[in-house]
Structure 1
């Protein structure tokens, strides 16, 4: 069976304007980078020269091209309508298919969706579809915004923000106030001790909601990069971080407006309070909410639970700092209802209590070829997947694993007893499977994987995500080594 490649170009993949996509997915795409490309076969003639197939020239409209036959007595191509329109493609296949034979040295136009057969299908020649890549949109105007550092200061300490949180004193007029996490955490603590409600330090209105603001955090970094004199001292940053208690959105006070669901959950005595969670209505585990209780919103079921520093189980996933209520309400013995959503206990549990029956989708940077190799290795060892995962979790807990690439918050403090959500567990397992593979001797790999060379870019390679042939032929479970070796 013939394969082909485009001669000439050494431009980056960003310059690819079209492709010849084989209908047989086991063969790679032929990328067209130059405005005029010569397509060659992999079969070499006796003088060891590659045989030229055809020449493809890009048209000025950038949506079509001219194909010139440079080899065979004829090239067959099926002229389809634009492949961007499924209905048009359907019509073309039923009624409008035209078999055109391009003789040697003749030229014929081709458009996106044209199917080319560089010889008789019966003789084993590949079918290719001509595909035009989407044109890049070039922004001709750039908008520059100048921000005065005076407008990027915490309303409490009057220094540039650090770990920004946003407070919403009034949820219906979108007036937002911005503070440093540590400053507002201390203000919140003092307000709860002195008053029935938390008062905004700037406008004195009742604070109803507080949450971290990741967008403004990036602006904070830009400001400090532009003017390093505004950066706080290391000692001050450590102190602020030790005071920072706002990890996920807090519902401080729900105000007077209540949804019909919450209104039905009011106590029989008709106290008029908006009951946010089961513990607003009754006591569980020796605790009941009062008018000063701050509530967390669960990221799984959107239900509420009281924010408690002395809770019997963690309320936040340590990997992502998001709040989940399943473990807390299970420990309290509280059941959910229509008025009070309560999610499953499985949403947040210790790492050692999680289990998997198959590799996570994230494993090996989503490279399915590397995932297949890992699965084969585990099967050859005669061990269940979870057994291998548990072994590497123990190694991590014993500090035998370098955690530099572990993409979880507080990665240095994570152990087998750390509470994490399912998403963070998948990230952890994907990280540990990398170490499992990288420590395997080469002779333990399947035969087809032993002969592969390492990719220069290792696990950081981007080509493995869009080039099946490259993902299959190179080993990507390795460290990047670009610059340390030559082709």
Structure 2
């Protein structure tokens, strides 16, 4: 054995022995250590021994952290005895999901610390153990700066903002060069690349530039090459001529006046005329050759001369975002509203679907309604983040949260399982309720403390759910599971508390928590 990885969380992984020159960790079963958490990359990291020195190579997307500092994908660093390694950012996962290790060398002395004594976790005295625990707590200032990385991205180039600009009124941010190229390819400067909102003005985002500068100081490895920076400066027309892009209102008024003059003679004076009538709304028709046409109200069609010249409806222009592609038997028209994918920012059609339609197309989370392109397009440039998943695929990650509802109820559930795997709860609910279409996720004041909105969604195996809401869904599955066993399991037969799952007394009064059942809905409201 060359070295050890002493686990910092027994719930997520056991301690590991490194007994080979190249030791790989990741979600793929071919790794030397397989981690089943879906936020772990397929080949997350590797630890290599080269010339009497250990190095760590980060191959992950969600990040590998050495002593609280993000290493960065593709980077290689030296690790030494006593270093703390985290597989995922500790501030973005629950406590029971933290995957962390202390690196302990057995036979190899780090070249930077020739005088270090080789110690194991069991040999640490109280002061040393306190130092190790202190290392787990990150420097708050650096943490906040690291978290800015996702917020400082340009949705066009998917890299950090450079010479940032802000679009009014939607307030989306882009690189000056990226937006300049986008506007240069448009016939009219009238739409935001992200949400297609008409652009009224563009401003230089000085605050965003300052934040990017601070973020780059903490992440120098993410800085663009000098040649690329020079190229982007040349392409940034907005910074060179800001007055031209400050206001498009004059252009819009001219266009609106032209359109008004063109259509004025065709406007109806009929009092019963209603341009919101469904008969005049957009109706998509797919002909045998899969070309999409639009049958829509057009004032020019009321002109007899035009009617004689135009006998057939012309095909509409193809969508710029989808390049005329047909996705899930649907092709966008040129006025289709789009929305950015929550994972990668790629634009997808914003279609208003009911729960059954979304179960087929799988475009957005059934709970929070956030859009994701993973299943709609069949891939996602950042699919490794697993932003969207199907209910039938979350079974392997099913885990009862530590102290679920309260520590008494948590221990009752563990005693009920008698050492069996936690996903037995998931399999039971899948077999008896979810597969049969009899399970509903309910969010209201009876089941959640101060819910932002009431939700009642039917959950099936193919229902899509995002990575944030899937934990909320798993908790609700456990909640309903205990209620199913209430009359068949003596452990759950206590009298229900009037305030149920939202009871505040249960957390500070253990006698109250032991006496009453809190895995139930609130029935009394003050």
For the aligned pair, the TM-score class normalised by the smaller chain equals 0.3 to 0.5
Bigger radius of gyration among the two? 1
TM-score w.r.t. structure 2 length?
0.33
